[in-house]
Amino acid sequence: MSQVLHQAEILETPILRFAGHTFEPLPSGALFWHAQQTLLVADLHLEKMSSFAARGQMLPPYDSGMTLRRLEGDLRRTGAQRLIALGDSFHRDSGTTTLPPADRARLDNLTAMAEWIWLSGNHDPAPHALGGQCLPQLQLAGLTLAHEPRRDAPGLVAGHLHPAAQILVNGRSTRRPCFVHDNRLMILPAYGASTGSINILSPAFVGLFHWPSLEVTMLGKDRLYPVSPRRLVQG
Amino acid sequence: MTDLPPRIADWFASKGWAPRAHQLDVLASWQAGASALLIAPTGAGKTLAGFLPTLTDLIDGDYEGLHTLYISPLKALAVDVARNLTTPISEMGLRIKVETRTGDTPASRRARQRVDPPQILLTTPEQMALLLSHPDAPRLFGSLKRIVLDELHALVTSKRGELLSLAIARLGLIAPAMRITALSATVARPDLLRDWIAAPVPDAAAHLLTAQGGAQPHLSILATDERLPWAGHSANYSHRALYDTILEHKTTLLFVNTRSQAEMLFQGLWAINDDMLPIALHHGSLSVEQRRKVESAMVSGALRAVVCTSTLDLGIDWGDVDLVVQVGAPKGSSRMLQRIGRANHRLDEPSKAMLVPSNRFEVLECEAALEAVEENHQDSEDPVSGGYDVLAQHILGMACSAPFHADALFAEIRRAWPYHDLPRSQFDRVLDFVATGGYALRAYERYARLRLTPEGTWRIANPQVAQQYRLNVGTIIEEPMVKVRLVRGRGFKQGQTSGPIGRGGRVLGEMEEYFFGTLIPGDTFMFGGEIVAFEGMRDNEAFVSRAVATNPKIPSYMGGKFPLSTYLASRVRTMLDSPESWSRLPNQVSDWLRLQQFASELPARDSLLVETFPRGTQNYLVCYPFEGRLAHQTLGMLLTRRLERARARPLGFVASEYALAIWGLGDLSALIRTGRLSLDDLFSEDMLGDDLEAWLDESALMKRTFRNCAIISGLIERRHPGKEKTGRQITMSSDLIYDVLYQHEPDHILIQATRRDAARGLLDIERLGQMLARIRSHIVHKPLERISPLAVPVMLDIGKEPIFGEGRESAMADAADELMKEALSGRDRP
């Protein structure tokens, strides 16, 4: 019994080892880099719903607030000194100007709490002045941080693809966003409240990973679940 | 006595016919300045009855503009009625222009119809909404005298009926002299239907007319010496007998409740079709061309039998069908009567129909339906009251036609029967939703679709809004479907999930996307009359190959759309409770009930029987509410939550039309005996409070319901000018939207709309509430040593029907534990 408990504890706070560093993944989809006191998040897609409103579809204007509140919680919980957003932080460049006043104030608060680095993504290529620095990509402690994943950069931490895993256990299937990495590349799940996901078995991921060393960590309600790649199914 | 104009009277005489009484009654109502609802069975000459006033009015043929609008639920029906109308018009030598207008009508003709309309226009509710959204609608419909509504009983129970009611309310303002003639099959509450057509024309009376009923139908239940199955829906035992019956008749229509049942029956009949009888298959997943082919073969009398689903419930007159067979539960008595009416469209001859139960419970249901039909008892659904999603669509459409004053539009909308008690506050919220999304956080004023002018009218903000409206009009939401394409198989090995898929072959048809979400490559299922293996998905297509298996692995039975009617359910309960009536039942069924009496007891008419027993390593709770699968599913979800709190450690449940079985690790009999679990508390109505809320928050069924409301209300577009979204894209984003909205504004008008739909639809909360109230303090608990005879059918469904339970997180936990075990076993540990 005690051994089972012990196992459960290990499982609930898994550590991801990648390119010589250790990371703590959070159920929200953020990755805490303890040694650097840095919180990594990908694909916030702030102001996604309001970008639909401009085209006549009045989707609820609450997604930015949800994402920012979640981020605030993670910053407080981890005490991170630095936050690096791995691109597509805004669903489109103009989103930096459409944040509702309350969300704008919340963001100002957050950029004052920690040092912010906004990496550019395909949805938000332009730099902005919302606090912190805007960079195309970044080298940190031997790792490369950038928006789009690629195979030719060992030690790359990226976002962009919104990875999700689907597993089938006892006839029941479950699909959740996930962290996915091998010995060269780590892709973070999309963090934004309005983001969808792509199955890591789909063509978008073909050729990116070395399958035998692949590790998949699914996001649960309030814990993480490492699962064997052999469990994965399409869908 | 109404006098027919001589030209029409002569025409009747030349045919050797006399006008029927109800046809003359319709004319008399019209001449008295009243609207009329005609309740008539099929074959009673309804079409002619509906149009007799128009023919009389237009006998001189010099009417300028549109005189009569005919609206039916089916395009095919409009086309068929046009044909049936043109014949007498030309035989009488009248100069009346009749035209149809459907989605298939060429754009050029549709444009011309708006400028130069025919005197009689035959169309659908969606086309009406479109026509009324144009600024020229008042000119086009100003001359309107009559509206003929066909199959009204089918329209009023759906959102299409709500849309239609709003369109008619507008027509009532444009053409106050307009009168309505509605045609309907027999329904439970004709007075409600009459109110429905009276509401938009408040100045006129509305008469309720009833045609003399046809001959009493000959209805029987298939007698068999074969063993009746305990559970399942395939009715395999009956195939030989059904085949022989088809041989004895000219043309047989075989109705089933689901597509997979249709597939099984079709395959079963062809397996023994030694005479090579032309037997066809008709259901909603087959390609349109394939369905049209079957329909025209049917009309030309080339078929001996058609296996079909509700796709043939309504529609054009087949003429020569001399037998209707219902395989599987009839679900409701009105439903059954309408299906029987598909046979023999000649009024004076009795229709002939046969019921074929597919399991023992269904024997009871068939027997109940037989008695109900003999008594001609109706249990059809009442007209639905107005949904906010449809209202939102309509408000936008009205704004596209012309700027409006909110007060005036509100008064107009209240003249649509489904909205007759709509509160002003709700109207204002829907209007706000249409304009800017209706959110407490007023973030979208600058993107507003409707703007208030200085004169106090609401108008569309720009012409694109109208363009968007017209691309998205309508209330029929298709499930996201994927094409099913046949390819050469790859020869699956277990666990192999990748590899190239062979080049595409022909498309077999379409199927709901969510079905494939549950499959892994190599799984076999039945489609288009054959067993196929799932190969994989690519670009919104599912690839399948021919499989060698004799039994499909995945039972794609997804339950019928229609739950057992409350009325038939109460009849079944009464039958169980009165052993003296069992003599009508086959011996194998009455023996089964007697065994139940001996081993446990029978559910009494007004109480709920709950049995608990151990089996294997688990404990079971089986109860028999007889409220239909949907209500039972909801009950199962809520009960497992409560059992979890009571530490009874439930693991899952399965719901059938009649019963619900829950299993878990805790000893339920002991928990109840020692008073640690009270059944009265477990089944108390307050489960519809907090437990329901907590579940709705994450329920997939709620999200599916929300998706429909979001599309109909215009929150999400089906089509955007220039591009089309696929079902998957809409589904994914609507789930996210639901999550965001439910968390922030659980009282938003669209969440309210979703709840109202869910209460009646996929969650059937309304019915569950009625049941809980009925059985309050009438719960009979039977702790048993072993499974009871009555529990056998639902227990057999375990493994065949989808199993519910907490699942999601625990599936991941299992997978994670497994990985951990693997990791630990591979290491040397101290």
Tens-digit pLDDT profile for residues A2-61:
333 344 445 557 899 999 999 999 999 999 999 999 999 999 999 999 888 888 889 999
- Dihedral angle sign, alpha carbons of residues B409, B411, B414, B415: negative
Percent share of chain A, pLDDT over 90: 71
Alpha-carbon separation of residue B538 from A229, B508, B542, B544, B545 (angstroms): 21, 16, 7, 11, 14
Q: How far is A92 from chain B (nearest CA, A)?
A: 17
In a domain, B750, yes or no: no
In this prediction, residues B615-628 reach a mean pLDDT of 92
Q: Are residue B162 and residue B245 in the same domain, yes or no?
A: no
Given a cut of 60, is residue B558 above it in pLDDT?
Answer: no
Give me the pLDDT at residue B520, please.
65
Top residue of A58, A214, A222 to mutate, by most chain B CBs within 10 Å, is A58
Residue B496 pLDDT grade (very low, low, confident, very high; cuts 50, 70, 90): very low
Q: Does one domain contain both B186 and B39?
A: yes
Residue A109's SS3 state is helix
**B330 within 8 A of B563, measured Cβ to Cβ:** no
| Residue B766 exposed, middle or buried by CB count within 10 Å (0-12, 13-18, 19+) | middle
For CA atoms B755, B760, B764, B769, give the dihedral sign: positive
Of B510, B543, B562, the domain-final residue: B562
In angstroms, the CA A18 to CA A31 distance is 12
pLDDT for residue B808: 54
Q: Please give, rounded to a whole number of angstroms, the shortest distance from the CA of A203 to a CA of chain B.
A: 9
Q: Are residues B148 and B251 in the same domain?
A: no
**What is the per-residue pLDDT for B259?**
80
List all residues of chain B from 780 to 799 with a beta carbon under 8 Å from chain A: none
Residue B215 at interface with chain A, using a CB cutoff of 8 Å = no
Q: Residue B280: which CATH number?
A: 3.40.50.300
Q: Mark whether B316 and B245 lie in a shared domain.
A: yes
Range from A136-150, B118-132, B298-312, B454-468 carrying the lowest mean pLDDT:
B298-312
pLDDT at B504: 62
Structure confidence at residue B806 (pLDDT): 43
**Residue in chain B nearest A99 by alpha carbon:** B443
Minimal C-alpha gap between B806 and chain A (Å): 10
Residues B735-758 have pLDDT tens digits of 889 989 999 999 999 999 999 888
φ, ψ of residue A216 to 5 degrees: the values are: -125, 130
8-state DSSP, A90: B
* Nearest CB neighbour to A56, from listed B464, B739, B803: B464
Please tell me whether residues B171 and B41 are part of one structural domain: yes
B264 lies in some domain: yes
Is B67 domain-assigned?
Answer: yes
Q: Which of the residue ranges A139-153, B327-341, B547-561, B646-660 would you say has the lowest mean pLDDT?
A: B547-561
- Please tell me what DSSP assigns to residue B767: H
Q: Searching chain B, which residue's CA lies closest to the CA of residue A215?
A: B819
Distance from the B537 Cα atom to the nearest Cα atom in chain A, whole angstroms: 8
Q: What is the rounded average pLDDT of the residues B253-257?
A: 91
* Residue spans of alpha helices (H) in B745-807: 749-760, 765-775, 792-797
Q: How far apart are CA B394 and CA B429, in angstroms?
A: 14
CB B197 within 8 A of CB B37: yes
B741 touches chain A (CB under 8 A): yes
CA–chain centroid gap for B567, Å, is 18
For residue A102, what is the nearest residue in chain B, using CA coordinates? Answer: B441
State the Cα–Cα distance between residues B569 and B490, nearest whole angstrom.
48
Q: Are B22 and B44 in contact (CB under 8 A)?
A: yes
Chain B residues with beta carbon closer than 8 angstroms to that of A191 = none
Residue range B201-209: average pLDDT?
Answer: 95
Query: Strand B252-255's sheet: what is its strand order?
Result: B218-221, B352-356, B323-327, B252-255, B305-308, B279-282
Range of the domain at B94: 6-210
Q: Is the distance from CB of B809 to CB of B698 less than 8 angstroms?
A: no
- Percentage of residues in chain B having pLDDT higher than 90: 51
CA distance B152 to chain A (A): 33
Q: Output the pLDDT for position B255.
A: 93
Collect all residues of chain A within an 8 Å Cβ-Cβ radius of residue B727: none
The mean-pLDDT minimum among A178-182, B210-214, B423-427 falls in B210-214
Residues B237 and B145 in one domain: no
Least confident of B21-30, B150-159, B414-423, B497-506: B497-506
Model confidence over A111-150: pLDDT tens digits? 999 999 999 999 999 999 899 999 999 999 999 999 999 9
Averaged confidence pLDDT in chain B:
86
- Cα B310 from Cα B253, distance rounded (Å): 12
What dihedral angle (degrees, nearest 10) is formed by the CA atoms of B390, B392, B397, B398? 110
User: Mind telling me how many Å the CA of B463 is from chain A's nearest CA?
Assistant: 12
Last residue of a domain, one of B374, B391, B418: B374
Weakest-pLDDT range from B19-33, B171-185, B491-505: B491-505
Give the CA dihedral B290, B291, B295, B296, nearest 10 degrees: -30
pLDDT of residue B488 exceeding 80: no
SS3 of residue A111 by DSSP: helix
Q: Check if the beta carbon of residue B779 is closer than 8 Å to that of residue B624.
A: no
Interface check B497 vs A, CB under 8 A:
yes
- Say if CB B59 and CB B5 are below 8 A apart: yes
The residue assigned the tokens 């100045």 is: B203
Using CA atoms, how far apart are residues B589 and B598, in angstroms rounded to an integer? 14
pLDDT above 70 as % of chain B: 88
C-alpha span between B507 and B495 (Å, rounded): 27
DSSP string of B306-357? Answer: EEE-GGGSS-S--S---EEEEES----HHHHHHHHTTS---TTSPPEEEEE-
- Any A CB within 8 A of B16 CB: no
Q: Is residue B147 part of a domain?
A: yes
End-to-end CA distance of chain A: 36
Residue B114 has pLDDT above 50, yes or no: yes
DSSP-based three-state secondary structure for A137: coil
Helix (H, G, I), strand (E, B) or coil at B441: coil
**The two structure tokens encoding residue B404:** 């409006």
Q: Would you call B497 and A232 a contact, using CB atoms and an 8 Å cutoff?
A: yes
Q: Which residues of B353-375 are buried (b: 16+ CB within 10 A; e: fewer)?
A: bbbbbbbbbbbbbbbbbbbbbee
Q: Are residues A167 and B449, on separate chains, in Cβ contact within 8 Å?
A: no
Query: B534 vs chain A: nearest CA distance in angstroms?
Result: 12
Rg of chain A on CA atoms, in Å:
18
- Above 90 in pLDDT, residue B30? yes
pLDDT for position B286: 76
Contact of A141 with A35, CB cutoff 8 Å = yes
Say if B694 is an interface residue toward chain A (CB within 8 Å): no
Give buried/exposed letters for B455-484 (b at 16+ CB in 10 A, else e).
eebbbbeeeebbebbbebbbbebebbbbbb
- According to the model, what pLDDT value does residue B494 have? 37
Tens of pLDDT, residues B273-292? 999 999 999 887 777 778 78
Residues of A in contact with B460 (CB under 8 A): none
Q: Do residues B540 and B609 both lie within one domain?
A: no
Cβ contact A7–B817 (<8 Å): yes
CA distances from B627 to A135, B19, B504, B659, B774 (A): 61, 45, 45, 8, 12
Q: Who among A58, A220, A228 is closest to B822 (CB)?
A: A228
| Dist. CA B56–CA B8, nearest whole Å | 8
What is the SS3 assignment for A191?
coil
**Residue B518 scores a pLDDT above 80:** no
Are the beta carbons of B743 and A66 separated by less than 8 Å? yes
At residue B65 the predicted structure's pLDDT band, cuts being 50, 70 and 90, is very high
Is B745 inside a domain boundary? no
The pLDDT of residue B623 is 96
Instruction: Supply the pTM of this predicted model.
Output: 0.87
B517/A54 CB distance under 8 A: no
Say if residue B670 is in the same domain as residue B775: yes
CB within 8 Å: B815 and A172: no
Cα separation of A137 and A117, whole Å? 10
User: Do both B527 and B652 map to the same domain?
Assistant: no
pLDDT tens per residue across span B682-719:
999 998 888 888 777 777 778 888 989 999 999 988 77
Q: Report phi then psi at B416, rounded to 5.
A: -85, 125
pLDDT at B823 > cutoff 80: no
**CB proximity B521 to A under 8 Å:** yes
Establish if B738 belongs to a structural domain. Answer: no
pLDDT score of B101 = 93
Same domain, B193 and B230: no
- B716 CB neighbours in chain A (<8 A) are 57, 59
Local confidence band at B74 (pLDDT 50, 70, 90 cut-offs)? confident
Based on the fold, state whether residues B548 and B604 are members of the same structural domain: no
Q: Name the nearest CA neighbour of B387 among B716, B753, B752.
A: B753
Q: Report CA torsion sign: B156, B158, B159, B164.
A: negative
User: What are the two backbone dihedrals, phi and then psi, of residue B809, each rounded to the nearest 5 degrees?
Assistant: -65, -35
Nearest-CA residue of chain A relative to B815? A227
B1-27 mean pLDDT: 89
Specify whether B544 is located in the same domain as B666.
no
pLDDT digits (tens, 9 = 90+) for A201-220: 988 999 999 989 999 999 98
- pLDDT band of residue B345 (cuts 50, 70, 90) is low
Interatomic CA distance for residues B608 and B632, integer angstroms = 13
- The helix (run of H) or strand (run of E) holding residue B436 is helix B424-436
Contact B537 A230 (CB under 8 A): no
CB pairs under 8 A between A and B: 139
Tell whether the model's pLDDT for residue A109 goes beyond 90.
Answer: yes
Is residue B670 a part of any domain in this protein? yes
> For residue B446, what are the contacts with CB-CB under 8 A and spacing of at least 6?
none
Name the token pair of A225: 């679940």
Is A176 in contact with B812 (Cβ distance < 8 A)? yes
Domain count, chain B: 4
Least Cα distance to A195 among B730, B732, B726, B710 occurs for B732
B331 has which bridge partners? none
Residues of chain B in contact with residue A170, where contact means CB-CB under 8 angstroms, are 811, 814
Tokens of A136: 């195309």
Q: What are the structure tokens assigned to B610, written together? A: 């709950």
Q: How far is C-alpha B242 from the chain's CA centre?
A: 27
Q: What is the pLDDT of residue B478?
A: 66
Residues 6+ apart with CB under 8 A from B542: B482, B483, B484, B485, B511, B516, B534, B536
Domains of chain A as residue ranges with CATH: 16-231 (3.60.21)
Q: Name the residue with higher pLDDT: B226 or B536.
A: B226
d(CA B187, CA B184): 8
ipTM value for the complex: 0.89
Q: What gap in Å lies between CA B446 and CA B436, rounded to an integer? A: 9
* Min Cα–Cα distance to chain A from B356, Å: 32
| Phi, psi of B352, rounded to the nearest 5 degrees | -120, 130
* Lowest model confidence (mean pLDDT) among B294-308, B454-468, B547-561: B547-561
- The answer to whether residue B829 sits within a structural domain is no
